[in-house]
Every structure is written in structure tokens, then in C-alpha cells.
Structure 1
Amino acid sequence: MSNEITITAARLIRDVPAAEVRVDDALIALSSLMTSVVTARRDTAGVPAARGQATIRRLMKAQVALVGVSGDMLRIHGDLADIGRETAGYDLHECPSIAEAGTGSQAICA
């Protein structure tokens, strides 16, 4: 394998999982915010049930959008694994098991 492919693969090993984790972190943060907003509305005396509904709907839309982003990240990961097989000749079956095994083939599995 060329040095250029090795460097590119190493960068992907670092960047793909980092992006996946950040999307998950954003989804967790929005879910926590949703819980806080709904709890605040419920627990604040004198606040009508309709108050804050538009905010809650916007949060829900943001969560749905992030779920879509998460799915796109999974497809991106798979696409990169396919490219690794085609370009570098990796025989990858399941990225997580290869990454956990710590083999050199994890380069494109990122």
C-alpha cells in the first residue's frame, strides 16, 4: 500500500468515528434539552399547556434531522469501507470487529 493511502486511511480512522460521536453527542444534548423544556413547562405553575409548544416542535424537528444525519454517517462509513476494499484491497467484513482487533486493516474502516 502506498504511503499516501496509509496517511489517508489513518486520517479516516481518526475522523470518521469522531464525527459519528459528535452527531451522537448532539442528539443526546437535544434530547436532554427536550426533557428540560417539557419538564419546565409541566412544573411551572400557571403555564398553559399550549405555551412552549412551538419550541417543543422545533426541538423535535431538530432531533429528527440529527437522526437523519446519523443515518447518513452510517452510510458514509459503509461507502468508505467499500472504497477501501476497491482501492487498497482490504478484505473488510465488519468494521467494529476489525477495529477492536487492532489489525492494520482497520485503516479504511475508520
Structure 2
Amino acid sequence: MPDQFTLTAERLQLAVPEAEARVDSAIIAMASLMTEVVTARGAIPGVPATKGHATVHRIARAQMALVGVSGDILRVHGDLVEIGRETAGLDLHECPAIAAGAPAKLAIVR
């Protein structure tokens, strides 16, 4: 049974940081979309600001929802570390910075 704990822990140590990085990428994408929409709204003559306000508001709500998801995933990460300690006696001093194959969080920003 200890092998099962080890295999499960190894899979989670890859999956959790990957999920964190993907949510961060989505937050960045929403910020870029917001920039483009607001820039376009101001750049197109004759389009009143009120036309794009609902869109800007929806993007802001979507981005805040992603921020909430990010917080939930961080809490899940902490929960899983605690479960690992309690269940398998894993002493995880530091979680891996990134999942294998996933770009580093700062490397995502280009």
C-alpha cells in the first residue's frame, strides 16, 4: 500500500502546480482581453463608451471568478499537503515550483 501513496503523491505533485499555472494563464489572458477591449472602445470613433461597458463589466466579473478559482486551488493544495502528512506520513517541506512540462509562472508572461 505505501507504493500507492507514493504514486498518488507523485501524480498530485505534478497536477496541482499545473492547475495553478493554468489558472494564472487564464487570469493573464483575461487581463489582456480587458486591455484590448478597452483600447478598442476608445480607438473606434463614434462608438459611445456605454456600448462597451457591459462587455468590460463581464470581463471583470470573469476575471474575478478566476481569482476566486485560484484561491480555491491554493487552498486545495494546502489541504492535499495536510492529507499527505496525516495519511502517508509524507514530510513535504516544499512543493515543486512547477509541474513537469509546464512553464514556470513567470515564463508564461510574454
One-letter amino acid matched to 1:86: E
- Indicate the residue corresponding to 2:32 in structure 1: 32
In structure 2, the gaps of 5 or more residues are: 98-110
Q: Are residues 1:79 and 2:82 paired?
A: no
SS of corresponding position for 1:42: helix
In structure 1, the gaps of 5 or more residues are: 101-110
Q: What is the TM-score of this pair, normalised by structure 1?
A: 0.82
Determine the C-alpha separation between the residues in 1 that align with 2:47 and 2:60.
20
Determine the C-alpha separation between the residues in 2 that align with 1:5 and 1:34.
43
The aligned length equals 97
RMSD (CA atoms) = 1.4
> How far is the alpha carbon of 1:92 from its aligned partner?
3.6
Over the matched positions of the two proteins, sequence identity in percent amounts to: 61
- Indicate the residue corresponding to 2:21 in structure 1: 21
Runs of 4+ in structure 1 deviating by more than 6 angstroms, as ranges, are none
Higher relative contact order (CA 8 A, sep 6+): 2
